Amino acid sequence: MTAVALAGVMTGPGPAAGHGPAAGARTEVPGFPRRGRCLVMGVVNVTPDSFSDGGAYLAAASAIGHGLAMARDGADIIDVGGESTRPGAGRVQEAEELRRILPVVRDLAAAGATVTVDTTRAAVAEAALAAGAAGINDVSGGLADPAMAPLAAAARVPYIAMHSRGPSAGMQRRAAYDDVVTEVAAELRARLEALLQAGIDRRRVVLDPGLGFAKLPAHNWQLLRRLGELTALGQPVLIGASRKAFLGAVLRRADETPPPQARDAATAAVSALAAAAGAWCVRVHDVPTTLDAVRVAAEWTAPPGEDSAHS
């Protein structure tokens, strides 16, 4: 597909925003596409060890091919990461992270895709922005690198701040809450305040509860059930449930847990429910199933007597 053709796929005009009772939470983010429905972010992990697709896209050419295929499938944003965040994962060197992601970011952006870089390092984010990335996805919410928030402020790009409680190594030991939803909301609010203090424009901050990051399965389900308490923070909310272990646990039958690649229908169900509850974007490995799901959710939540632009 040519850059122009792909640009049309990625940024063509969507239906008017503002559908449905939950639509107020789905505010627009300057620098990201507008679709009038929950957005779909496709994941490209250029890593040997991510839990779902580790090793599959370690070579730049296969990662680029995968990202382009997701864009053709209708992904609104492509998220490129070079460091696994699976529980217990160690850090990769900055030079290796850059080596993995930069050619992928450069080629996907050149083809017209809206790309985010999934990194906790400001230097990596800065290089990715220079290579054409449109935004930053930081699973530490700015806590890992003090230079990250000032960079996002100066670059005037969208910044996704995910909730976690420290590095992946050992994070599940910090999964202790009296009321996970109240505590995650309070910790995200504190992050938001710090990011605004650093000069990031409020319209560009996306919040994410960080499912599976210092959270047990029961914590993830409570955060999803009470998503309204997170959208009530007034920022767009991103949900990353795709293929995660808490979905595998629900699907477990006769002592057999389906592997991550067999959890896409369950992921699509979460995507539909999250979209209907006001999520701004869902981050997934399989784009077509979730795109169908968020389109259904957009129809379901269209205001009474008003058909969506797709009907």
Q: Which are the catalytic amino acids?
A: 244, 283
Part in contact with ligand PMM (CB under 6 A); list of ranges 4-12, 17-25, 48-56, 92-100: 48-56
Does 145 help bind ligand PMM (rule: CB under 6 A)? no
* Cα–Cα dist 97/210, whole Å: 21
φ, ψ of residue 10 in degrees (nearest 5): -80, -30
Which structure tokens are listed for 259?
């592997």
Residues within window 268-287 making contact with ligand PMM, judged by CB under 6 A: 283
Q: To the nearest whole angstrom, how small is the minimum distance from the Cβ of residue 229 to ligand PMM?
A: 18
Does 164 help bind ligand PMM (rule: CB under 6 A)? no
Q: In sequence order, what DSSP letters do the residues of 196-216 get, joined into one string?
A: HHTT--GGGEEEE--TTSS--
According to CB under 6 A, which one of 107, 118, 145, 286 is a site residue for ligand PMM?
Answer: 118
Which structure tokens are listed for 241?
């449930």
Q: To the nearest whole angstrom, how small is the minimum distance from the Cβ of residue 310 to ligand PMM?
A: 27
Q: To the nearest whole angstrom, how small is the minimum distance from the Cβ of residue 309 to ligand PMM?
A: 28
Proportion of the chain in helix, strand, coil states, percent, rounded to 5: 45, 10, 45
Residue nearest to ligand PMM (CB): 240
Label residue 297 exposed, middle or buried (CB < 10 Å: 0-12, 13-18, 19+): buried
Q: To the nearest whole angstrom, how small is the minimum distance from the Cβ of residue 84 to ligand PMM?
A: 6
According to CB under 6 A, which one of 11, 27, 31, 52 is a site residue for ligand PMM?
Answer: 52
SS3 77: strand
The amino acid occupying position 86 is R
Contact 159, 138 (CB under 8 A): yes
Give, in order, the Cα–Cα distances in Å from 78 to each of 112, 116, 126.
11, 6, 17
* Cα–Cα dist 119/93, whole Å: 12
φ, ψ of residue 286 in degrees (nearest 5): -110, 105
Show the binding pattern over residues 17-36: x = contacts ligand PMM (CB under 6 A), - = does not.
Answer: --------------------
Part in contact with ligand PMM (CB under 6 A); list of ranges 46-54, 93-101, 120-128, 268-276: 46-54
Part in contact with ligand PMM (CB under 6 A); list of ranges 61-69, 102-110, 207-215, 250-258: 207-215
Other Cβ atoms less than 10 A from the Cβ of 130: the count is 12
Residues within window 67-86 making contact with ligand PMM, judged by CB under 6 A: 85-86
φ, ψ of residue 253 in degrees (nearest 5): -135, 135
Given the complex with ligand PMM, which of 52 and 257 has the nearer CB atom? 52
Part in contact with ligand PMM (CB under 6 A); list of ranges 13-21, 47-55, 94-102, 248-256: 47-55
* Cα–Cα dist 136/129, whole Å: 8
Part in contact with ligand PMM (CB under 6 A); list of ranges 10-18, 45-53, 91-99, 101-109: 45-53
Given the complex with ligand PMM, which of 153 and 270 has the nearer CB atom? 270
Given the complex with ligand PMM, which of 20 and 209 has the nearer CB atom? 209
Does 208 help bind ligand PMM (rule: CB under 6 A)? yes
Binding-site residue total for ligand PMM (CB under 6 A)? 18
Given the complex with ligand PMM, which of 116 and 308 has the nearer CB atom? 116
Contact 301, 277 (CB under 8 A): no
Residue found by looking up tokens 């699907």 in the block: 251
Q: Which residues bind ligand PMM (CB under 6 A)?
A: 43, 45, 50-52, 85-86, 118, 137, 139, 160, 162, 208, 210-211, 238, 240, 283
